Amino acid sequence: MGADARNCYAGVVDDPVTPWRAALPAQHRALRAIERDMAAAGVVALSWYDVLLELDAAPGRQLRMQDLAARTVLSRTRVSRLVDDLVRAGLVTRQPDPDDGRASLATLTTEGRRARRAAAPVYLAGIQEHFARHLTATERAQVARALTKVVAAHDATG
């Protein structure tokens, strides 16, 4: 773990690059492993799960496309296409927003809830196995606190 050209701050007391360059592979590898587990278990894909999860947590189990995008790591465009797929699979319905004719609402169906519940144990086990298990409770809390601040800062600036 010696200093090398990959990081000109290596060994310096305060280093802005190392946490960033640790986060990249940590998240990427855990993500891929969780996705593999979910596919192997025959449950919905992670991107579907994220959408179903946010809808299940929303009031009336429905959200506008834009709000769905804001709550996930998906673009508005991607959400639009993902909801198409979910509607085709019967997990979600799409209705116009009665309060704003421009907006459209995605609503979770009973089958959508069932699909989310079926996937939940695989999802939680994947997070445990490929991410949380490798950290102490203190470290998990530290990571949660720090990265929540980063997200909050991005939300604030737009």
Partner DNA sequence: CAAGATTGAGTCATCAATCTTA
Partner DNA sequence: TAAGATTGATGACTCAATCTTG
57 binds, among a copy of itself, DNA, none (CB under 5 to 8 A by kind): a copy of itself
Q: How many CB atoms lie within 10 A of CB 108?
A: 25
Which one, 73 or 137, has the nearer CB to DNA?
A: 73
130 binds, among a copy of itself, DNA, none (CB under 5 to 8 A by kind): a copy of itself
Distances (CA, A) of 69 to 37, 39, 44, 88, 108: 24, 23, 18, 19, 15
Cα separation of 46 and 114, whole Å?
A: 15
Nearest to 65 by CA among 50, 47, 78, 53: 78
Number of H helices, E strands in the chain: 6, 3
Residue 53 touches a copy of itself, criterion: CB under 8 A? yes
Per CB under 7 A, the list member of 22, 84, 110, 114 interacting with DNA is 84
Residue 76 touches a copy of itself, criterion: CB under 8 A? no
With H, G, I as helix, E, B as strand and everything else as coil, classify residue 94.
Answer: strand
Closest distance between DNA and the C-beta of residue 156, in Å? 18
Sites for a copy of itself among residues 10-39 (CB under 8 A): 13-20, 22-30, 33
Nearest to 62 by CA among 78, 38, 43, 86: 86
Cα separation of 132 and 84, whole Å?
A: 33
Sites for DNA among residues 16-35 (CB under 7 A): 32
52 binds, among a copy of itself, DNA, none (CB under 5 to 8 A by kind): none
Sites for DNA among residues 95-154 (CB under 7 A): 97, 100-105
84 binds, among a copy of itself, DNA, none (CB under 5 to 8 A by kind): DNA
